[in-house]
Structure 1
Amino acid sequence: MTAPASIALALAASVAGLLVGFLVGRSRLTHSRMRPQGPTAAQLLERFVRSSNSGVLILNRFGDLVLHNHRAEELGLVRDNRADARARKAAEQVVDGGTPTEVDLSPLSVRRRGPEAVLGEVRPLGDGFTVVEAMDHSEAVRLEATRRDFVANVSHELKTPVGAIAVLAEAVLDAADDPDEVRRFGEKILRESTRLGKLVTELIALSRLQGAEKLPELTVVDIDTVVDEALGRIRLAAESAGIDITTDSASGLSVEGDRTLLVTALSNLLDNAVAYSPAGSPVSISRRLVDGYVEVAVTDRGIGIPESDQQRVFERFYRADKARSRATGGTGLGLAIVKHVAANHGGEVRLWSSPGVGSTFTLRIPTHPETTGGRTSAPPAATASAGPAAPTEAGGRIERPVPAVLQKSTGGGGKP
C-alpha cells in the first residue's frame, strides 16, 4: 500500500473514532437528562431531621438556630425562631468541654395536654456546631406517678380494715365476760373483714382486666339475663336502703362478651346508684339498641357529681366526697372496674350528672351481629320492677335515662 493511501486510511479511522465517541457521549448525556435526579445526601439528612419523632436543634457557636424540626416547636424548645435558653447554655458548655451532656428541657409552665417532661442530649458536631436531641418522657412520668399513687392508696385502703380488725379483736378479748359487747364488736369485725375481702377481690379483678391475666373466651350473652342477675345481687342492699329499682321490659338484645364480667359491671353501677341516693328515691334500668351498641343505662336521683369531678371518678380509689364514701363502705374501685370491663368488650361507659339532680351511667357494648330484636330508641315506661314503682318528682314513673345528647363520654368510671 502506498504512503498516501495509508495516510488516508488512518485519517478515516480517526474520523470514525471521533464520530463514535461523539455519538456515545451524546447518548449518555441524553440518558442522564432523561433519568430523574435523586436527592443529595444533605437533602436526605435534612428530611430525616424534619421527620424525626425527637425534637432536633442544630446550633452554631453563638447559639443561633441553624436547623430545627417541627417536633422541637411542639416540645416548646423553639419560640420565635430562638432556641430554649437552657439548650443554648448547655450547647456552650459542650463546645467548651467537647463532651456530650444531658439537660432538662421540661416546660417551665405545663400547658394543657402539652408535654410535662422533656429530656435533651447535647452533642458536639465540630467547628463550634452542636446538636440538641430532645425526647418527650411525659407518659413515663405519668405512669410512674400513677404507680406511686396506686401503691400508696392500696397500702392505705388495706391498712384501714386490717388495723380496725386488730383493735376490735383486742376489744373482744377485753370484753370476754360481756356477751352483748362481744356481739357488738363481733359484728364490727365482720363488717371490716367483709370490706377487706371485697377490696382484695376487686383488686384482683382490676388486675385481670388491665392485662395481667388473659380474659375468658367471649360468648353470646343475653342482656336481659345480665340485668336480672345484677338485680339479684343488689336487691338486698336496695331494700335495706329503702331504694326502689325499676326496669323496662325485656329487650331480647345480646352482645358478645363475658357474662360474669358484664354482671359485675352492671352490679357496680347499681351499687353506686343505691349508695349515693337518699332513702325513698328511685333508681331505674333501661335497655336499648343504638347505632350498633347495646346501651344499659342506670339512672338515679341521688346527690349527683360536680362537673369538675366527672373526668376523674372512674380513676382507682378516687372519691369526690371522701367522707360520704367512707360511710357507704365503698372500695373506690367499682367504677374503675366498670370502665375496664367496657373497654375490654370494645365499648365504653358514659356519664351524665348534675349535683342535686342525679346521674345516669350508660354501659355501651357492641351488639352481637346476629341480634335482631331490641329497641332503637328510648324505652317506654318501666313495666317490670325489682320493687314498687319508682315515682319521679312529678309523681309519674321513670321512663328513660337522661337523653344521649346530654350524656358525656368519659375515659373512666363514675361516682366514687
Structure 2
Amino acid sequence: MTRERLVLLVAGWTLPVLIAALALMAPIQPREAIIIIAVWLGSVGLLSEILWRQSLQPIFTLLGQLNLSSTNQIRQHIHSLQEAADRQQDERKDLSQLLDDISTGLGEGLLVVDADLHLRLCNPRAQHFLGAEKVAIGASFLDLERDPDIVAGIRDAVAGKSGQRILVENSRGVWELRPFPLSQGGAVVLVTEVGPLRRAAELRRQFVQDLSHEIRSPLTVMRTTVEALEDEVSPDIAGMLVRQVERITRLTDELYELASIEAGTLKMETTRQSVGPVVRQVASDFAAVAFRAEVDLRLDFPEDFAFDFDTRALTRVLSNLVDNAVKYNRPGGWVRISAKRLEGTAQIEVEDSGLGIPAPELGAVLQRFYRVDRARTPGAGGLGLGLAIVKHMVQLMGGDLKLDSREDVGTRVTVSFPVGPESAA
C-alpha cells in the first residue's frame, strides 16, 4: 500500500471514527468537536501535500518544460506523440518486411544468430540447408545443427573473428558457410550450395585436359611436316609456319597445365640446384624471338645461386614471364633476368622496359583468361593464361609473387622462394 493511500484512509476515516467512539462514551462537547475537526483537517492537508509533491508537482513541472499551459495543448501534444509512435511502428514493420523480402529473394541462405546462438533470421534457403520446413525465430541453432565445425565457426564469428569458410556436406548437398560478426553482437552466416559449381568446374577442367591431350598429337605431326618442308618453301614461310605451330603448342600446354593445377594433379619435385642452367635455357629459347622484336635480353645472376625448386615449374614460370616481357615491349627495349638473395629468400626478377600495365588492371592480370586491352597490343596473341599459371606454380613451390608496373615505363615481376639454412650458398 502506497503512502498516499495510507494517508487517505487515515484522513478519511479519522473524523467518523472519532465521532462514533465518543458518541458511545459520552455526548460530544463543542470543544471536543473542534479538536476532532482540526485533526481531520490536518490529515487532509497532509494528504494534499504528499499528493502534490509525489504526483502532481512533477507533472506540472514537465508540462511547464514543454510549454503546455492548457488542456487543449496537452491533448494536441499527446496526439502528436501518438502519431509519431504509430509512424515509427509502421517504419519498423516496413523495414522488417523489406528485410524478409531481401532475404527470401537471395539465391544464398542467410542466417542471423545472437550471442547465445538463438536465431534472429533464417530465410528459406537456409531452412533448406538445415532440413527444416519452418524455423521459429528465437529457436536455438544448436537444436537444428550440431556439426562441430559449423558450431565452432559461428562461435568464432560471435567472438569477433571473420573470413572463415566452412565446407560441409549433408544429404541435401555440398555447402559453403561464411560466418561474419555483427557489430551489435551475434553473427550473420551466408550459406551457399557449391555442389553444382564444383561439378561444373570439374567438368570444365576435364574437358580442357582432354582437349589439350587430343590436340598434342596432331600438333606434333604438323611440326614434323613443316620441318620436312623447309627445303621446299621459302625460309620466311617455313619460319612463319614453325612459329604458328609453336604458338598453338604453347597455348595447348598452358591449357593443360592450368587444368592440372586446378585439378591438383600437377606434382612438384623440388631439389636444391643452381638456377643458372634454367635461366640460360630460357634466355636461349627466346633469343630468336627477342632478336626479331629488337629487344635486348640481359642476364644478371651469380653462378652459385642455388635453392630448392622444381626445374620444370621454374622453367615454365620464367618462360611465361620472359614471353610477356618481350611480347609487350618496344623496338630498342630490353628485358633483364636477375637473381639475388634477400632476408632469407631467393628472389628472381624479370624486368622490362615495355608498355607497362594500367594501374586499374594490375590486380586483374593474374586472373586466368584476362588480357590487357587488346587495342594497346595489336597482334599479341594468347589466352591470358600466362600470369595465372605463373602465380599458381610459384605458390605450389611455396613462393610469393609481386607485380610492379607503370604504364609506358615497364614492368617488374618478382618471385620469391624461402631459403632454409641448408640452402644457403
Relative to total residues, which structure has the larger helix share, 1 or 2? 2
TM-score by length of 1: 0.49
Where relative contact order (Cα < 8 A, 6+ residues apart) is larger, the structure is: 1
